[in-house]
Amino acid sequence: MTTSLRNIIGITFVVQLLTFAMTVANSVLAARWLGPAAFGVMVTILLLPEIINKCTNMGLETSILYYIGNRRFPEKRFLGTTIINGIALYLIGVLAIVAFILTDGHKLLFSAAEFALAGDGLWWSIYLLFAAILHEYGGNIWLGRQQFNRFNGNILFRPLIYFLLLLGFYLTNTLTVAAALFTFATSWLLPGIYIWWKSILPLKLSWDKTISLATFCYGSQIMVTNLLVFLIYRADLLLIGYFLSQTEVAYYYVAVIIAERLHYLTKSVRIVMLPAAAYSEANQEKMPLIARLNLLIVAVGAGLLALLAHWLIPLVFSTQYNPAVKPLLYLLPGIIAITLPKLLSADFAARGLPKYDLYASAVNFIVNLGLNLWLIPRYGISGAAISSSISYIIAASLTAYFYHSVTGLPFREFLFPRRNDWQALRNL
C-alpha cells in the first residue's frame, strides 16, 4: 500500500464519525417519531434477517475479504463461484424467514397489541436480507482489494439515504414500522447496487469446487463466530422482548447504540487491519501498538460518557427514554473490555486462525446467555447490561491469553499504554 496505515485508519475513523453522527440522528428521529413501543417492535424485527443471515451465510462475506486480500485464487473465478454460493444461501435464508412467519414465531416476542404495530413488517425481512447481503459482499470486495477510499465514500450514503426516506414518510404522515423497515433496507440496497455496477459487473458466473471448499472451510468458523458475537450483542434484546416488553427493548437499545458508538475507532481499525494484515505479516506486528491506543481511547470515552449520560439521553432522545441511563452506565465497563476481542479478532482472521476468536466468543455467549436468563427476570434491562459487562470482561481475558500464546508477546505489550505511543503512531 502506498498510503500509511495511520492515514488510512485516520480517514476511515473520520468517515466512521460522520456516519456515527448521521446514524445517531436517524435513530433519534425514528425513536421520537415512532415512540418507544413501535421503535422497540422495529428493532426486534430488524434482528430477524440478521439472525437468519448469521445462521446461513457460511462466513462468505469474510471469506471474500480474506481470499481477495491474499490473492490465493484468480479474482474473477473466485467471485463467480462465491456469487453462485451466495444466491443459494440467500434462498435458504428466505425459506427460514417464511417458515418463521408462517409458524407464528412472532408470538414468542410480541403481544397482540405490539404485533399490530408491526403491520406487514415481518415480510420486509426478505428485502432486508437481500439488501444486507448485496452490500456486505460488495463492500468486502473493495476492502479485499484495499480500496479504502471507495469503501469509505460509499458508506456515507447509507445514513443519508435513510434520513431522506425517513423524513419523507414522516412529513407525509405515513411513517409506520413497516415504512421504517423499508427505508432501512433501501438505504443498504442502493449503495450496494452502486458498488456492483461501478466496479464488479459484468461478471461471468462459474462454479469451482476447490474455491467453494476453501471458502466454506474458512468461512464456517467465521460464521459460527459471527453468529455467537451477534447473539452476544443482540440476544439480550430478544430476551427482553420475551420476558418484558417492546418498550423495554427500545430503552435498552438506546443504551446499547450509545455505548457501542465508543467503538467507532475500533471498528475503523478492524476494517483496515484485516485485509492489511492478511496482505502483509509486517502489518500484523503493528497490532500491539494499535490495541494499546484503542483501549486507552475507549476507556477515556467511557469515562466521559458516564459523566454525561444523565442529561445526554433525555436531551437527545427525550425524557421518555430516561430509563436507558442506568443500563448504559452498567454497560460501559464491558464496552471497554470488549475492545480487545474486537481488534484481535481481525488479527486472528488475518493469520488464518479464526478458531481463537471462536473459542472466546463461545465462552462469551454461554456466560452472557446464562446471566441474562437469570438477571433479566429479576433486574430488567439493568440485569441485561450487567450480564453483558461480565461476559465481555471474561471474553477479553481469554482473547488476551490466546493472543499471548500465538505471538509470544507479554501482556503489557498490547494492554497497557506507554508514554511514547503517540509518537510511535506517526510511524504506523
Handedness of CA 258, 260, 266, 270 (dihedral sign): negative
CB 259 within 8 A of CB 328: yes
Classify residue 171 as exposed, middle or buried by CB count within 10 Å of its CB (0-12, 13-18, 19+). exposed
d(CA 224, CA 221): 5
* pLDDT tens per residue across all 428 residues of the chain: 445 556 666 677 677 677 777 887 888 889 889 988 898 989 889 988 988 988 888 888 888 877 887 788 888 899 899 999 999 999 999 999 999 999 988 888 888 888 888 878 889 999 999 999 999 888 888 888 878 778 777 878 888 999 999 999 999 999 999 999 999 999 999 999 988 888 777 888 889 899 999 888 888 877 877 777 777 778 888 899 889 998 999 999 999 888 887 876 666 666 666 666 555 666 666 777 788 888 888 889 899 989 999 998 988 888 889 999 999 999 999 999 988 888 887 778 777 777 888 888 889 989 999 999 999 999 999 999 999 999 999 999 998 999 888 888 888 887 887 777 666 555 55
Dmax (CA) of the chain: 61
Quick: pLDDT tens for 213-255.
988 888 887 787 777 777 777 888 889 988 999 899 999 999 9
Give φ, ψ of 110 to 5 degrees.
-120, 140
d(CA 126, CA 292): 41
pTM of the full predicted structure?
Answer: 0.71
Quick: pLDDT tens for 278-308.
556 666 667 777 888 888 888 898 999 899 9
Amino acid making up residue 123: W
Find the length of the chain.
428
The secondary structure element, H or E, covering residue 310 is helix 287-317
